[in-house]
Amino acid sequence: MAIATLIAAGRLDDRLVERALGLLREIDPKASFSHWIDEGDAADLRFAGDPKAARWVLEPLGRVDIAVQPEEPRWKKLLVADMDSTIVGQECLDELADYAGLKAEVAGITDRAMRGELDFSGALRERVRLLAGLDQGALGLCLKERVEVTEGAETLVQTMRAGGASCLLVSGGFLSFAEPIAKAVGFDRVKANRLVFAGGKLSGDVGDPIVDAMAKRDSLIEVREQLKLEPSEVLAVGDGANDKLMIEEAGLGVAFKGKPVLVEAADATLNHHGLDALLWVQGVRRRDWYKG
């Protein structure tokens, strides 16, 4: 059996649940209501059939986030998360480029790379070259003034850590941002690219090896094997094309406000709620969420 979790905080009523069941019964006439996770916010439906088919058949529900997965294991023991436009709401390199007066040019390249239209490594090197000569102090200023943690990110990470899970922040961005963000949010592991400095300024180079889509996937596998976990015990979340391989590798892959190429590959989409909604996806009631 499989579970379809419906999430519509403050709006999930019996009418909406019944509509979802009507749609789900197109693939399983015996689909049924399982239980409320938090009444009015999130509920589980149980069905037999292809999870991907169930996800697409539930798409007409509109402003409802939907996760479809096997019934067990529900709780994940490893979270692997992208950073830019996922754990934080910005693309850090785009914001840094604004300090050099190049935000529009750099952001255009970023958007095409995240849509899968450009080679990620080449696009990364091209953007960093444009910033050669920028003072190193601009990074700290950018982090302080421009970068904000996404709603629910800390709650998700801290609740999972409290439940014994490990949390890896893996980014195609840079350690200069990823390390302080990981510390602030509560990740116990971090992997990202390294900027090269010369004389207190950006040299325009990126340290090798590049953390690209394959490196993200490999990092997930490496930590999963270290922890002796099954693929089904891993949750991965990201937003762009360079997250696709790790999303496909995870037992539960989530597209957070994702680009179309990632939405197609994901098991779940999260477009209308903060990242803490992924606790409902794991069956955790709000009363058990971390409260900082």
171-202 pLDDT, tens digit each = 999 999 999 999 999 999 999 999 999 999 99
Indicate whether 20 pLDDT > 90: yes
Please identify which of the residues 82, 239, 243, 276 carries the catalytic annotation.
Answer: 82
Domains of the chain: 1-72 (3.30.70.1120), 75-91+148-292 (3.40.50.1000)
pLDDT at position 120, please? 85
Count of helices and strands (H, E) across the chain:
12, 12
pLDDT at position 114, please? 83
State mean pLDDT over 217-239: 98
Partners of 249 in the β-ladder? none
The string over 184-222, giving b where at least 16 C-beta atoms fall within 10 Å of a residue's C-beta and e elsewhere, is: bbbbebbbbbebeeeeeebebebeeebbbbebbbbbbee
84 labelled catalytic: yes
Indicate whether 292 pLDDT > 90: no
HSE-CB at 29 with a 13 A cutoff on CA atoms is 0
% residues pLDDT > 90 (the chain): 89
Give the mean pLDDT of the chain. 95
In this predicted model, what pLDDT tens digit does every residue of 55-84 receive, in sequence order?
889 989 989 999 999 998 999 999 999 999
Whole-angstrom Cα distance, residue 124 to residue 291? 37
Indicate whether 221 pLDDT > 90: yes
State mean pLDDT over 83-90: 97
**Direct distance between the N- and C-terminal alpha carbons of the chain, in angstroms, rounded to an integer:** 36
Range of lowest pLDDT (5-14, 119-128, 250-259):
119-128
Q: Which residue has the tokens 């000569």?
A: 133
The pLDDT-based confidence of 113 (bands split at 50, 70, 90) is: confident
Please identify which of the residues 28, 84, 239, 267 carries the catalytic annotation.
Answer: 84
pLDDT at position 25, please? 96
Indicate whether 52 pLDDT > 90: no
Alpha helices (runs of H) in the chain, residue ranges in sequence order? 14-24, 51-57, 92-98, 103-114, 120-130, 137-145, 153-162, 175-185, 213-226, 244-249, 260-265, 277-281
Indicate whether 141 pLDDT > 90: yes
243 labelled catalytic: no
State mean pLDDT over 22-45: 97
pLDDT at position 260, please? 92
pLDDT at position 37, please? 98
What the block records as the tokens of 62 is 């509109």
State mean pLDDT over 1-7: 95
Cβ 203 vs Cβ 169: under 8 Å: no
State mean pLDDT over 233-243: 96
